Amino acid sequence: MQLMTGDEYVESIRNMNWNIWMGGEKIENHVDNPILRPSLNCLKLSYDMALDPAYEDLMTVTSHLTGNKINRFSHIHRSTDDLMKKVKMQRLMGRKTGSCFQRCVICDGSNALYATTYDIDQKYGTAYFERFKRYMIDVQNKDLIVAGALTDPKGDRSIPPTKQSDPDMYLRVVERRGDGVVVSGAKAHLTGITNAHEVFVMPTMALSPEDKDYAIAFSVPTDAQGITIIVGRQSCDERKLEDGDIDVGNSVFGGVEGLTIFDRVFVPNERIFLNGETDFVGLLVERFAGYHRNSYGGCKVGVGDVLIGAAALIADYNGIAKASHVKDKIIEMIHLNETLFSGGIASSANGVKTASGNYYIDLLLANVCKQNVTRFPYEICRLAEDIAGGIVVTAPSEKDLRSDAVGHYVEKYLKGANGVSAETRLRALRLIENLTLGTSAVGYRTESMHGAGSPQAQRIMIQRQANLEEKKKLAKTLARIEQ
């Protein structure tokens, strides 16, 4: 099958049998829902850009499994060049959408599982690797979107899955059959879940042997019987229901997250890629986290580019662009953003080939990259808000601007320097608000902290990967200290 167009993708999502809830109501047509449609537009764009010759080198690649041209988001990395192009593609998508574009989790998860299923087969003689390759061929040939599901609700985080008072706090196998398994539980924070053809599930953390029923990795259609999606509420999301487009900030694109319930969902054997091998769960999670932390050096940087541009615009509109302190703040924003990109590229360039044949990132540098992501976007947001001024959170609404009674006051008193209209200035301010405080902040500001694991998780991996004993030996050698 050829790559789908954006319109073909939208219709393929429309034709599925969804069970989506939002605001206490079942959503019968989420494709055209004004709150949810901006998130779908991000995915639609990823299809259209793959067919645009201007972006072909980044957005598409030849599959080593089929020899066909595929979307790079469905690719199994074959070189460090692939790893670097993934990060560059993610930056490009962030620049184009100013939002989370929702395809990174499966890109990273599929590569983690590709390598790990091979390793499991080598130890246990299972057939997961070939099964997973067949699955990826199907995903690539059909040009599917696959959402990644990792984070369990967890309940009491101080105790393991089997000790929870409610065993469903971690997704688990509740019944084993000859033709597959039945699973129950939930997964939280599912990025892009309402826009995906399939949902791919992995454990959320390393497990002990007694947690065998929780050691399950699989994929099923997102409209499978027993799946219920409850859309997460975002700041300012109901502005999308209003007439006009100024107050939304970014009216075309946006992200979506959801709590996804698995109520006795059947998973056939051919869709199971790990089933009880608890000794490989930690490795699988570590590999996924490494790939995903590397990705943040691209996606967050692209959105950062948009925020830097908006800050520079509002400086122009406010007539302060030539002030030395404003120039310095914008330089600092650029410096921080490019530092994040450097981490993504460096961890890709230092990637290594796994036993399965795909390429894995430099784990230490990927964690350093993500540790910086937990900090730098917050400073970039702070500086953007500083440059914009308090008006970014006190500006009147678009309805006031359009009002026959008071609109002329808004136009008179909120116009900018050099004839910049109040509407133009308000559009820039609302974009800054959207990126730092509104719906896009979910995929930029807050996700920078918690996405791909908490800051402490990265610090633990940095400690493990730093090889401190080797550094001690270097110091001893130069200091001529006896070993």
Specify the pLDDT at position 439.
84
Task: Please choose, from the candidates 98, 191, 100, 104, the residue with its C-alpha nearest in 3D space to the C-alpha of residue 384.
Answer: 98
State yes or no: is 447 an active-site residue. yes
Q: Is 160 exposed, middle or buried (0-12, 13-18, 19+ CB in 10 A)?
A: middle
- For domain 283-473, the CATH class is mainly alpha
**Catalytic site residue from 296, 317, 359, 444:** 296
Q: Which entry of 198, 257, 277, 433 is annotated as an active-site residue? A: 257
Q: Among this protein's residues, is 25 annotated catalytic?
A: no
- The catalytic residue among 60, 117, 191, 374 is 191
Tens digits of residue pLDDT in 182-205: 999 999 999 999 999 999 999 999
Half-sphere exposure of 19 (CA within 13 A, CB side): 14
Q: Is 100 a catalytic residue?
A: yes
Q: What distance in Å separates the CA atoms of residue 323 and residue 28, rounded to the nearest whole number?
A: 52
Considering 9, 42, 97, 104, which one is annotated as catalytic? Answer: 104
| 107 catalytic per annotation | no
- For the question of residue 257 being annotated catalytic, the response is yes
With 0-12 / 13-18 / 19 or more C-beta atoms within 10 angstroms meaning exposed / middle / buried, residue 98 is: buried
Whether 360 sits among the annotated catalytic residues: the reply is: no
Low-confidence ranges of the chain (pLDDT < 50): none
Which burial class, exposed, middle or buried, applies to 363 when counting CB atoms under 10 A from its CB (0-12, 13-18, 19+)?
buried
pTM given for the model: 0.96
Catalytic residue among 100, 107, 369, 381: 100
- Catalytic residue at 378? no
Q: Spell 221-249 as b/e; 16+ CB within 10 A means b.
A: ebbbeebbbbbbebebbebbeeeeebbbb
Given the residues 114, 292, 398, 436, the one annotated as active site: 292
- Residue whose structure tokens are 């429309």: 14
**Residue from 299, 359, 381, 436 carrying the catalytic annotation:** 299
**186 Rama sector, left if φ>0, alpha if ψ -120 to 50, beta otherwise:** beta
Pair 394, 410: CB distance under 8 Å: no
Give 346's Cβ-side CA count (13 Å radius).
Answer: 14
Give the number of other Cβ atoms within 10 Å of residue 452's Cβ. 27
How many other CB atoms sit within 10 Å of the CB of residue 192? 26
Residue of 225, 183, 222 lying closest to 203 (CA atoms) = 183
- Given this model, what pLDDT does residue 1 score? 67
Q: What angle do CA 43, 259, 129 make, to 5 degrees?
A: 65
What pLDDT was estimated at residue 446?
Answer: 87
Of the residues 198, 277, 398, 447, only one is catalytic, namely: 447
3-state helix, strand, coil in the chain (%, to 5): 55, 15, 30
